[in-house]
Amino acid sequence: MIPLKDNIRSRKLPVMTVGLIILNIWIFFQQTQLPPDQLQLLIAEFGFIPKRIVLAYNQGELSLLPLATPVTSAFFHGNLIHLAGNMLYLWVFGDNVEDKLGSFRFLLFYLVAAIFGSLGHLLSDPLSVQPAIGASGAVAGVLGAYFIFFPYAKVFTLVPIGIFITFIHLPAVIFLGIWILIQGANAALPAPGEAVSVAWWAHISGFIMGVIYSLFKK
């Protein structure tokens, strides 16, 4: 399912949502300008690597903990599809959540959701040495907030059915309910080759954080 738009208009320009999208696109463009070896070093430096956290903690070298990477990792993407998917979801759902929270609080919420996403990935795969990157955990937090704040909003959705496509309006509670169920199913039963490439628990953790926070703010 691909969300295209919802039926709730923002009361004001979602400057933070637009700003985050522009920043992510700009960073991805900069990534494409780097030679592969330099890009690999950059991702290793700013990506979130669970084993690096675990080793620093176990050795008592707390000063070596890469405390910024749960946030910095959220601004890098592996490929254009990865970027486009995250930014589409942020565009469709972020404006209304920003409207609800206010721009500055929305930014803080987004960054905290990114941190919770990284923590979920750390707990699910603490020995991973592969840098985790992408805004998925942060965007999932936005989805969790939308799930609570706007459950009955209508989401205009593209649904592929085999070689055909159809367009339907789904209540947000149904669309996002299906979305989180898919994340859970993939986390429990990952497809071959996906276990090391998709941090499903980052998505789930970000979503849960968004739900819990929004329940207290509603």
The residues that are catalytic are 136, 203
Residues 208, 42: contact at Cβ < 8 Å?
A: no
Residue 17, C-beta contacts closer than 8 angstroms, at least 6 positions apart: 90, 91, 94, 95, 98, 106
CB 16 within 8 A of CB 106: yes
The dihedral sign for the CA sequence 29, 34, 37, 42: negative
**What distance in Å separates the CA atoms of residue 133 and residue 46, rounded to the nearest whole number?**
8
Q: Are 69 and 118 in contact (CB under 8 A)?
A: yes
Count CB atoms within 10 A of the CB of residue 29.
Answer: 10
Q: Which value, in Å, is the radius of gyration of the alpha carbons in the chain? A: 17
